[in-house]
C-alpha cells in the first residue's frame, strides 16, 4: 500500500530535525536532510506497524477480518 505523509524539517546548529504532523510521535534527526527524512520515515513505519498490531489485539476470534487498500 502506498501512502504519502508530510514531513516538516527544521535546521538546528548541527542537525536537521523532522517530524510528521499526521503521525504524532513520528520524528527524527540527521546530519543531512536525507538522513533526517530516512529517520522520520522509519519512525512512521514503526508507529503504524505498532498501531496495526495493537488494533487487532483482543479482537473476537469469530470476527471476520478483511483488508482494504487505499491508493
Task: Give me the pLDDT at residue 65, please.
Answer: 87
Task: Give me the pLDDT at residue 44, please.
Answer: 96
Alpha-carbon distance of 48 to 10, in angstroms, equals 23
Residue 38 to residues 3, 28, 41, 45, Cα–Cα distance (Å): 15, 8, 5, 11
Task: Give me the pLDDT at residue 69, please.
Answer: 78
pLDDT tens for each residue of 1-52: 578 999 999 999 999 999 999 999 999 999 999 999 999 999 999 999 999 8
Which residues, including other chains, have CB under 8 Å from residue 65's CB and lie 6 or more apart? 56, 59
For the whole model, what pTM was predicted? 0.81
Q: List, in order of start, the domains of the chain with CATH numbers.
A: 1-71 (3.30.160.250)
Residue-level length of the chain? 71
The residue to which cell 546530519 is assigned: 31
Amino acid at each position: 500500500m502506498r501512502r504519502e505523509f508530510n514531513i516538516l524539517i527544521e535546521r538546528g546548529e548541527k542537525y536537521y530535525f523532522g517530524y510528521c504532523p499526521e503521525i504524532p510521535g513520528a520524528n527524527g534527526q540527521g546530519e543531512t536532510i536525507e538522513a533526517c527524512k530516512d529517520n522520520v520515515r522509519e519512525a512512521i513505519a514503526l508507529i503504524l506497524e505498532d498501531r496495526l498490531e495493537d488494533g487487532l489485539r483482543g479482537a473476537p476470534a469469530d470476527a471476520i477480518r478483511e483488508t482494504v487498500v487505499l491508493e
